[in-house]
């Protein structure tokens, strides 16, 4: 059994951050150790707002000290980080990654560089974007930005797939072993589909799924994608198979959510797809 330390946000109601990631990873057979960077009543894109707080400085470090005290850090196979409540939490996460890798040199750091999207109501604390660009990037083994986040990481505009591939390879050149661009959006080959890019030193791959017409786009899809990709890799699937399985499972969740007319991701209804995804769309290797 693989063990994943997942450090990201938590919502009491709905599916975002750890609330979107922990159950799918466990359904894939992972033992997950969640640490919450914030605890909110609901995600921040509800018009009525939300209640809750970011965890205080030292909270993450204290929990990791507790794990070190009972001598379990060597059992951790991967660290997944997502939404941060403060830039200071970033420093704590880097210390966590260092401690885990010291205890288990084979452990991976999967960084989902959540930078927010103010137009949609997703806000990150000051300094978080700078931390992700200047400090997290150099130590990450795998990164999973969306198109806007990749533009920020590379300080450039990405109007099409060719530029996006080049930007992903900039991250590979800095030591990242794999880059998953979670949503190509306007840079997609076919903007009528939801396309993702996987860039590796061995080649680049594109996979697609249908786009569903939601009245309000569900939140937490990116968190789900990162969690499933990491869990599939930890389950022993090669990167291309993990990419395809992740895409198929996310499609099943979005289809169930669309059919239900729901705003929150329907993880429970689609849970069988996490363990046994029906792969209708294969990854295509790009020239």
Cα dihedral 172, 113, 19, 246, rounded to 10, equals: -30
Query: What gap in Å lies between CA 31 and CA 203, rounded to an integer?
Result: 31
User: What's the CA angle centered on 244, arms 82 and 231, to 5 degrees?
Assistant: 40
Q: Is 77 annotated as a binding residue?
A: no
| Contact (CB, 8 A) for 121 and 45 | yes
DSSP secondary structure string, 12-44?
A: SSS-SBHHHHHHHHHHTT-EEEEEEEEEESS-T
Query: What gap in Å lies between CA 99 and CA 249, rounded to an integer?
Result: 32
What token pair was written down for 159?
């109007």
Instruction: Give the CA distances from residue 125 to residues 89, 188, 222, in Å, rounded to whole numbers and listed in that order.
Output: 10, 29, 19
Q: Is 257 annotated as a binding residue?
A: no
Beta bridge partners of 39: 10, 53
Q: Is 47 annotated as a binding residue?
A: no
Q: Determine phi and psi for 206, rounding to 5 degrees.
A: -120, 135
Q: Is 71 annotated as a binding residue?
A: no
What token pair was written down for 136?
């997290």
Q: Is 8 annotated as a binding residue?
A: no
Q: Is 223 annotated as a binding residue?
A: yes
Q: Is 45 annotated as a binding residue?
A: yes
Burial class (CB in 10 A: 0-12, 13-18, 19+), 226: buried
Q: Is 174 annotated as a binding residue?
A: no
User: What's the CA angle centered on 113, arms 220 and 81, to 5 degrees?
Assistant: 75
> Annotated binding residues for ATP, as ranges?
112, 144, 149, 182
Q: Output the known binding site for substrate.
A: 9, 44-45, 223
Q: Which residues are annotated as a binding site?
A: 9, 44-45, 112, 144, 149, 182, 223
């Amino acid at each position: 059994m693989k063990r994943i330390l997942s450090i990201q946000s938590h919502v009491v109601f709905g599916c975002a951050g750890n609330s979107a990631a922990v159950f799918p990873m466990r359904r894939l057979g992972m033992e997950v150790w969640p640490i919450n960077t914030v605890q909110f009543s609901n995600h921040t894109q509800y018009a009525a707002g939300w209640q809750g707080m970011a965890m205080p400085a030292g909270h993450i470090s204290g929990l990791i000290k507790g794990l070190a005290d009972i001598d379990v850090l060597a059992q951790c196979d991967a660290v997944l980080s997502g939404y941060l409540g403060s830039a200071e939490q970033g420093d704590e996460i880097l210390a966590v990654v260092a401690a885990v890798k010291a205890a288990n040199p084979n452990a991976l750091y999967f960084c989902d560089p959540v930078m927010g999207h103010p137009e949609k109501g997703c806000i990150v604390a000051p300094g978080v974007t700078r931390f992700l660009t200047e400090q997290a990037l150099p130590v990450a083994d795998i990164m999973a930005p969306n198109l806007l986040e990749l533009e920020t990481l590379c300080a450039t505009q990405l109007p099409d797939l060719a530029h996006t591939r080049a930007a992903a390879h900039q991250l590979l050149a800095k030591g990242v072993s794999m880059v998953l661009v979670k949503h190509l959006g306007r840079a997609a080959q076919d903007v009528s589909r939801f396309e993702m890019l996987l860039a590796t030193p061995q080649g680049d791959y594109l996979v697609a799924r249908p786009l569903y017409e939601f009245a309000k786009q569900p939140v937490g899809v990116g968190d789900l994608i990162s969690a499933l990709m990491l869990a599939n890799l930890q389950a022993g699937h090669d990167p291309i198979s993990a990419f395809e399985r992740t895409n198929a499972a996310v499609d099943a969740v979005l289809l169930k959510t669309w059919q239900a007319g729901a705003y929150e991701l329907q993880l429970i209804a689609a849970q069988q797809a996490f363990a046994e995804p029906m792969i209708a769309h294969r990854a295509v290797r790009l020239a």
